[in-house]
């Protein structure tokens, strides 16, 4: 068994424990494996261990990796598997077209203009792109994401876009080791999603996603209702390259 496969198993065990602690079904929490800075070989090991959904932050790196994984899968027992690629990095408006063409999900929509471009550029033969609005729940000046007070208007503006499906909210709270503080930020995000569901009742069923929790705070996020946890280093190990040197 590969190291990645062992680590994946450990992450699944942690998800089960965190879900069980609040009487949630473990299968109500999806695991997004964040493979940024790791190569196609690492993704192949995760696929062999059963993982199908991968998160990427850097567009060119992601597109190259998708192609390399496709080649590596050819002729193997996994050649028919359906992978899901999620874009979780900051979006520049001149990069929306390749994002709309290559990904199944985008977690980091933080303005209407980006949503409009993604919808207009989503190829018509593909299903609508699943998107989340990114919320700056801790109000950090340096973080991207909508202010909580701006989320409802943004949701109203993008929910009718034909080639997008608004699925919910994503957040990256201010890092803290205090579990109560972690939970408070995730709880606020959950309450914001509940507010969207009640203000947009015709769309409540599709607003089913809370993308929150990473390697260091995934238990707190699950306790507060995360439906997708985005986990990188706990699966693939420490990221060697400083992220600022990529792209």
Ligand X SMILES: *Cc1c(COP(=O)(O)O)cnc(C)c1O
Q: Which stretch binds ligand X (CB under 6 A): 14-22, 79-87, 150-158, 210-218?
A: 210-218
User: Which of residues 73 and 209 has its CB atom nearest to ligand X in the complex?
Assistant: 209
Contact with ligand X (CB under 6 A) among 4, 19, 34, 210:
34
User: Which of residues 5 and 233 has its CB atom nearest to ligand X in the complex?
Assistant: 233
Contact between 232 and ligand X by CB under 6 A: the answer reads yes
> In whole angstroms, what is the distance from residue 171 CA to residue 193 CA?
11
- What is the 8-class DSSP label of residue 148? G
Q: Which stretch binds ligand X (CB under 6 A): 58-66, 97-105, 150-158, 228-236?
A: 228-236
Q: How far is the CB of 230 from ligand X (least distance, A)?
A: 4
> In whole angstroms, what is the distance from residue 82 CA to residue 166 CA?
22
Are 72 and 50 within 8 A, CB to CB?
no
Q: How far is the CB of 133 from ligand X (least distance, A)?
A: 14
Classify the phi-psi angles of 2: left when phi > 0, otherwise alpha if psi is within -120 to 50, otherwise beta: beta
> In whole angstroms, what is the distance from residue 198 CA to residue 90 CA?
29
Nearest to 174 by CA among 135, 139, 150, 148: 139
> In whole angstroms, what is the distance from residue 96 CA to residue 212 CA?
23
CB count within 10 Å of CB 138 equals 17
Beta strands of the chain (E only): which ranges?
Answer: 30-34, 53-56, 84-87, 105-109, 129-135, 164-171, 209-211, 228-231
User: Which of residues 203 and 239 has its CB atom nearest to ligand X in the complex?
Assistant: 239
Q: How far is the CB of 57 from ligand X (least distance, A)?
A: 5
Q: Using CA of residue 223, residue 21, residue 167, residue 236, what is the dihedral sign?
A: positive
Give the residue nearest to ligand X (CB): 232
Contact with ligand X (CB under 6 A) among 53, 73, 88, 118:
88
Q: How far is the CB of 62 from ligand X (least distance, A)?
A: 12
Query: Any idea which residue has 């996020």 for tokens?
Result: 221
Contact with ligand X (CB under 6 A) among 172, 192, 196, 219:
172
Binding characters for ligand X, 43-82, by CB under 6 A (x = yes): --------------x-------------------------
Residues near ligand X, by CB under 6 A: 34, 36, 57, 88, 172, 214-216, 230-234
């Amino acid at each position: 068994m590969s190291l990645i496969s062992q680590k994946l198993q450990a992450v699944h065990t942690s998800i089960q424990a965190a879900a069980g602690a609040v009487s949630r079904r473990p299968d109500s929490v999806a695991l997004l494996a964040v493979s940024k800075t790791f190569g196609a070989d690492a993704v192949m090991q995760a696929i062999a261990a059963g993982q199908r959904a991968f998160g990427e932050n850097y567009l060119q790196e992601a597109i190259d990796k998708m192609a390399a994984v496709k080649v590596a899968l050819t002729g193997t027992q996994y050649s028919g598997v359906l992978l899901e690629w999620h874009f979780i990095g900051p979006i520049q408006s001149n990069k929306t077209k390749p994002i709309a063409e290559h990904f199944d999900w985008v977690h980091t929509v933080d303005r209407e203009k980006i949503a409009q471009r993604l919808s207009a550029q989503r190829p018509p033969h593909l299903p609508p792109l699943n998107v989340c609005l990114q919320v700056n729940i801790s109000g950090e000046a340096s973080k991207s994401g909508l202010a909580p007070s701006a989320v409802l208007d943004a949701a109203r503006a993008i929910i009718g876009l034909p080639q997008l499906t608004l699925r919910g909210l994503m957040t990256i709270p201010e890092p803290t080791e205090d579990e109560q503080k972690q939970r408070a930020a995730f709880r606020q995000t959950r309450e914001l999603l509940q507010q969207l569901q009640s203000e947009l009742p015709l769309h409540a069923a599709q607003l089913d996603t809370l993308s929150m929790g990473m390697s260091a705070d995934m238990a707190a996020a699950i306790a507060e209702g995360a439906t997708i946890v985005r986990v990188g280093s706990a699966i693939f190990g420490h990221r060697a390259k400083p992220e600022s040197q990529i792209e």
